[in-house]
Amino acid sequence: MTHQSAPDLLRQSLGRAKPLLWLNEDRIAVSEALAASSVRGEAVREAADAFQRWRPALRTLFPGAMVDGSIASPLERLREASSVLGYPLSGDVLLKRDDLLPVAGSVKARGGFHEVLGHAEALAMSRGLSREEALSTPAARAIFGQYAVAVGSTGNLGLAIGTVAAALGFRATVHMSHEAKAWKKARLREAGAEVVEHAGDYAAAVAAGRAIAAARDDTYFVDDENSLPLFLGYAAAAWELAAQLEAEGVRVDAAHPLFVYLPCGVGGAPCGIAFGLKQVFGDAVHCFLAEPVAAPCMLARLAIGPGISVYDIGLDNRTAADGLAVPTASELAWEATHRLLSGAFTVPDDLLFSLVARAHTLLGLRLEPSAVAGFTGPGWIEDSEEGRRYLSRLGTGVRPTHLLWCTGGSLVPDAEHAANCERGHGAPA
Ligand SMILES: *Cc1c(COP(=O)(O)O)cnc(C)c1O
């Protein structure tokens, strides 16, 4: 009799593009995991403080687009949760509206602005400017004009980096993969960035950008596969959320666990946010990653092992969730969170479109397909065998609060959003 190991079975299910929930058996207590982590906990607080310090500069750089210079988004209660999600639920559902983040319209504003502003501030200060004049003064602009910032992206990271780099006065170059939408390229060019189009996938666009930037000593490359400043910019969101939950009177403790569902591409954004949340809420927060069935790169990295790409499992990385179309996960994101994450699940594209459509019809939201990937999470937890087992281990009568991290969409043009909704209304619920 031949035995198939659990990883082999999982690999087969993933390879058949079957939606599934995977629970992380390597998870350990937060205190232990953070003590062993290569990322310092205080660095998250420092990132949150930096965003406060940069508020006046951001107001100057983006007059009109920023209310008060903060890179922050609303927390809302989801009305009609069962109708929007398409299944019954007992726990309350919250939405974190990073689709409304200023300027970039996606979660990438957090990581991208943190890395570029941090780089700019350090560069200006190394050239003799004070911290106060380091970002938005004519003297700073004159310095930045001698340098370039480059990035490889499926779209949204390029949009965030290209926009802020160009606004500071850098030459900005964005290497885009084939899935990148035409409107994202057009918008970047309008903002003054140079867009280089690549025929390959996300990993190929990043590699090409990295190689071109390495050959030039005036160019700073934002490396989405391996960037601590990006990771920390995302992680800082945890402090913002903590203040909002407190203001809303939402308790988070062992008896009131918070379940957070995070759309995942290369892993920087969701794992960074998860890392920050674990710092702030400890074992009372449970973080799950959401990935398209065609591109579950972080689930594969967590469950199967290093170096794996979604192509190795027989998948094609083709998904309408362009922000999540990533073949191989970030090792930095994996390393920092593989003992903190609770699990990961996969979602088929037709369901993403139908969720985009329902969120629009019932709530008037404009979300892109990537941004609704987490919406099946509460169903997996409350309504699957594995999910109920996970919940029951937290004690009897524990009622979770679910938080869906909405990662992008407010900049999607009308025609594209209408087409997404139309596709969703035709798709099965
Ligand atoms: C980039 C992105 C994500 C995922 O972030 P990663 O750092 O790539 O894991 C999720 N949603 C949207 C809309 C994105 O643009």
Taking the C-alpha atoms of residue 187 and residue 177, their distance in angstroms, rounded to an integer, is 16
Residue 374 CB less than 6 A away from ligand 1: no
pLDDT tens, residue order, the chain (429 aa): 456 677 889 999 999 999 999 999 999 999 999 888 889 989 999 999 999 999 999 999 999 888 789 999 999 999 889 999 999 998 899 999 999 999 999 999 999 999 999 999 999 999 999 999 999 999 999 999 999 999 998 889 999 999 999 999 999 999 998 878 899 899 999 989 999 999 888 888 889 999 999 999 999 999 999 999 999 999 999 999 999 999 999 999 999 999 999 999 999 999 999 999 999 999 999 999 999 999 999 999 999 999 999 999 999 999 999 999 999 999 999 999 999 999 999 999 999 999 999 999 999 999 999 999 999 999 999 999 999 999 999 998 888 999 999 999 999 999 999 999 999 987 544
322 C-alpha vs ligand 1 centroid, how far in Å? 9
Q: Is 332 in the pocket of ligand 1 (CB under 6 A)?
A: no
**Residue 66 burial class via C-beta count within 10 angstroms: exposed 0-12, middle 13-18, buried 19 and up:** middle
Which residues contact residue 284 at a Cβ distance below 8 angstroms, ignoring those fewer than 6 apart? 252, 253, 254, 256, 257, 258
Question: What does the pLDDT read at residue 96?
Answer: 98
Q: Which of 264, 319, 416 to mutate to test the pocket of ligand 1 (most atoms within 8 A of CB)?
A: 264
262 CA distance to ligand 1 centroid (A)?
9
Cβ of 270 below 6 Å from ligand 1: yes
The per-residue pLDDT for 396 is 86
Q: Count the neighbouring beta carbons within 10 Å of the beta carbon of residue 83.
A: 12
Choose one of 310, 324, 365, 372 to mutate for the ligand 1 pocket test, by most ligand atoms within 8 angstroms of C-beta: 324
Q: Are strands 343-347 and 285-292 parallel, antiparallel or unpaired?
A: parallel
Q: Give the residue, by CA position, lying nearest to ligand 1 atom 2.
A: 323
Å from CA of 111 to ligand 1 middle: 10
Nearest-CA residue for ligand 1 atom 15 is: 323
Domains by residue range for the chain, with CATH = 6-105+230-426 (3.40.50.1100), 108-227 (3.40.50.1100)
Q: Does 379 contact ligand 1 (Cβ within 6 A)?
A: no
Instruction: Say how many Å lie between the CA of residue 105 and the centre of ligand 1.
Output: 12
Q: What is the pLDDT of residue 130?
A: 96
**Which residue puts its alpha carbon closest to atom 1 of ligand 1?**
323
**4: exposed, middle or buried (Cβ count in 10 Å: 0-12, 13-18, 19+):** exposed
DSSP-based three-state secondary structure for 215: coil
